């Protein structure tokens, strides 16, 4: 199964998404922040099939968005944000494959990821 990276400060959301994706048979790595996920990308010989980043509770959302915009040229990135998150208005046009806003149904998100990666 494809490898997915997850990054997000909100540990309960990160853990729930990771657990549900593992149940579906995906190889999943999770990181507490964008920096951890990006460090993993730098050291990787192969890119993950998808990077899912939850900006909720990010300590530097504008910096995270700028960093991720560079990586969006190399791999598909799905961003999860809140409408009130700093930088939420700047997400459009950054090259992200999907931008999703809270509240989210994690089960539905997992199904959308399955559909996206099944091809």
What single string gives the DSSP state of each residue in 61-108?
HHHHHHHHHHHTTTS-EEEEE-TTSTTGGG-TTS--SEEEESS--HHH
Topology (CATH level 3) of domain 3-118: Rossmann fold (3.40.50)
pLDDT at residue 35, as a whole number: 93
Q: How many CB atoms lie within 10 A of CB 46?
A: 6
- Which residues, in sequence order, are bridge partners of residue 53? 7, 79
53 touches 80 (CB < 8 A): yes
pLDDT at residue 80, as a whole number: 95
Domain spans of the chain, in order of start: 3-118
Ranges under pLDDT 50 in the chain: none
pLDDT at residue 119, as a whole number: 66
pLDDT in tens, 13-35: 999 999 999 999 999 999 999 99
pLDDT at residue 86, as a whole number: 66
């Amino acid at each position: 199964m494809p490898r997915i990276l997850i990054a997000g400060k909100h540990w309960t959301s990160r853990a729930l998404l990771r657990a549900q994706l593992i149940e579906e048979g995906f190889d999943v790595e999770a990181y507490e922040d964008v920096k951890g996920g990006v460090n993993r990308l730098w050291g990787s010989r192969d890119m993950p099939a998808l990077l899912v980043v939850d900006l909720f509770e990010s300590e530097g959302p504008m910096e995270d968005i700028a960093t991720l915009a560079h990586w969006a040229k190399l791999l598909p990135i799905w961003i999860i944000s809140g409408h009130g998150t700093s930088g939420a208005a700047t997400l459009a046009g950054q090259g992200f494959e999907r931008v999703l806003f809270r509240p989210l149904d994690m089960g539905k998100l997992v199904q959308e990821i399955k559909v996206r990666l099944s091809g």
